[in-house]
């Protein structure tokens, strides 16, 4: 029996991605080891009556961008600038330097995951998303990125699962709501 190497690689990739997805979303009983400021902001974000949720979301991103070190914050900003200018390898170097010096800084992992996604390096991106969510289980941006990767890998059931989790954390994300509606239609009739 001859095994098609390409199909075997694809199967292994799906198994690894599915295992990563299960690990990332399986623990809903985590303790939020962040700040009281973030806890307050997330309570505001979850409020369906919050008409100024965009400001709340911006404030969350601002809090997430604080490493506690001016030098690491500066490196993070340099990485963001490189990313915005399409210098993806330079951005990876900056984010990697931040991670090396501040491995508990979730936003550095998230930014590097984003760059890896932009480079079509989905395995590396998923690995960094996993670390982001271990450090910051409420990171709705990382969840949205993981959902997008699952869609790219033609795994609509997994994408739907992760998008639903992201919407639980941040219920005002119209793009996520649209993705859920689209994917629910796509997977209708299959078990999720």
In the chain (192 residues long), the average pLDDT of successive 10-residue segments reads: 50 54 49 73 92 96 94 97 98 98 96 97 96 96 96 94 95 94 84 54
> 99-113 burial string, b = 16+ CB within 10 Å, else e?
beebeebbbbbbbbb
| pLDDT of 20 | 54
Please state, in angstroms and as integers, the Cα–Cα distance from residue 70 to each residue in 64, 102, 105, 184, following that order: 14, 12, 13, 44
Q: Read off the tokens for 118.
A: 């932009």
- 127 burial type by CB count under 10 A (0-12 exposed, 13-18 middle, 19+ buried): middle
| pLDDT of 48 | 84
Between CA 55 and CA 53 the distance in angstroms is 5
| pLDDT of 191 | 55
Contact 76, 98 (CB under 8 A): yes
Closest to 20 (Cα-Cα) out of 176, 182, 150, 189: 150
| pLDDT of 79 | 98
Between CA 175 and CA 63 the distance in angstroms is 23
Domains and CATH numbers, the chain: 56-125 (1.25.40), 138-192 (no CATH)
| pLDDT of 35 | 80
User: How many residues does the structure list for the chain?
Assistant: 192
Can you give the pTM of this predicted structure? 0.82
Between CA 150 and CA 187 the distance in angstroms is 14
């Amino acid at each position: 029996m001859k095994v098609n190497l390409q199909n075997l690689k694809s199967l292994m990739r799906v198994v690894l991605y599915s295992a990563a997805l299960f690990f990332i979303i399986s623990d809903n009983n985590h303790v939020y080891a962040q700040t009281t400021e973030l806890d307050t902001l997330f309570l505001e974000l979850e409020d369906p009556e919050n008409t100024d949720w965009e400001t709340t979301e911006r404030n969350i991103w601002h809090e997430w961008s604080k490493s506690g070190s001016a030098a690491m914050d500066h490196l993070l900003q340099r990485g963001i600038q490189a990313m915005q200018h399409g210098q993806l390898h330079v951005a990876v170097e900056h984010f990697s330097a931040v991670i090396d010096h501040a491995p508990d800084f979730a936003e550095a992992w998230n930014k590097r995951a984003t760059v890896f996604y932009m480079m079509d390096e989905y395995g590396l991106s998923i690995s960094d998303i996993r670390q982001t969510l271990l450090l910051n289980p409420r990171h709705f941006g990382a969840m949205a990125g993981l959902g997008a990767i699952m869609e790219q890998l033609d795994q609509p059931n997994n994408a739907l699962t992760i998008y639903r989790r992201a919407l639980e954390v941040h219920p005002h994300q119209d793009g996520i709501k649209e993705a859920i509606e689209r994917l629910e239609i796509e997977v209708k009739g299959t078990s999720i």
